Structure 1
């Protein structure tokens, strides 16, 4: 992941945040505007309104996107239109009281943030905010291009650096109402819509499961600061090991250059699809037993999973797969 400015000038807001992160323990009331978007929820929003390329407000460690601004960068003085480069930005903005950086430029405050958003929108930037559903607030973005109200209260996550000072420091599950706000002056859809929180989270979790399964099937590994040595102290920050992704890809390519023809079982073990996907594909091949091949099985699994994510029923998916196989040539005589 890449921050906007690695040598950005610091400011009092960023310094206070860094001091808070480095404390030995924390109280819930200290979290302030550092609550994080739940990962499955983010991926659900990303699936519907993304793909997102830039996280506008982060603490430097909680970005959901490949590129991001930190408190040191001060997102409100950056050129979003240029930095997003035609992509879509994402923001879970801070709700703290207005604060100025050392150059007397606003760094927080929802009125300042929405004003910046509208200015960047006029320049052509496209971005999506996940904000508290509060139409009565003076900062409410009534001139946004689309507002999607989320049915169901949202509970946000504690930051990864939060170390509870005692057993009472547990996040409440009460949550609050949320709206997904789209800023895009070329938006041609409806002005308002509604979506279920559970639907967003479900779709997001499905995408996360697919990503994890694909990574495992390709032999890639993941690293986390939660992977600590047994002798580390509680709260001690352990640097994540550097993963050489290029080396892993190279190793994988060398292994597959002379890869033998795979059986249906090896495909099933290597390409980790949900059982529901395999069940539908197997039913399709039962109707066309003379058209089974490894390539077609992979193709139908991909199509099934895509339609499943789009909300198509199992019957509709089976009909689609059957039609696809009907156009294929038989592989050979069936034993």
Structure 2
């Protein structure tokens, strides 16, 4: 409902308006990912280096950048819905220590509903993450408030009549005859599950690089950051594992965007402490940024060439 309604509305607007809206949501998504550790730790500092690293990794490690972020319908399905997910968790962490006010009973349920109604795999993760935070947080009232709405949103997506309609497609006849356990066995016993992580090489290399910095500096991230980094890291794995129940293989690359967002949130917590270390470690992070920027620049040039060259030829 969320993605289809959003794409339908935007396609009725003038291009300059919906393109501005898409760009704003994109920047907002990256900003909230970079700032989530600061919100959770009550530091509320602008982390520019985090923002740049997260943006470059989103661009370079994206399984299908064009269909998830530039194509309007794909944007509505995969970028906008992830924006609602990160907005839900950002607001929940921001409000967890605040005195309850009336508007909290509107904001959390609405964002929880939108986050739960995201994608088939991330909807499950949103519900599970909310349950985890209820269990580990001392002040859990915000997550208790959000849980039923994330669950309603997820069930509305997974049990909708449209899902049943999709299963009537003739190409899924063989898959429909397989039990859930058989589909899960085929998924995890073959290369299919591991293949869903092939696009995230840059993200994993960044994890390793930042880990080496911590190791050689004889420092470690704060316990709070490490715990939440691991939670979101495994939630990304679960989001890809959820495709085991799907009737369609191989998994569409653009469907992996949800796992990328969760990996980036995990990395943001891992990066958080580096931004406050006043030492030569900044140079190492800057070198990482420079390396990513060079690669990013080449990919932008390639994209512009593909877009502009046909336009120039047609113009001539």
- Work out whether the TM-score is over 0.5: no
Which structure has the highest strand share of the two? 1
- Relative CO higher for 1 or 2, CA cutoff 8 Å, sep ≥ 6? 2
TM-score, normalised to structure 2's length? Answer: 0.28
- The answer to which structure has the higher helix fraction is 2
Please, what TM-score do these two structures have when normalized by structure 1? 0.27
Highest CA radius of gyration, 1 or 2? 1
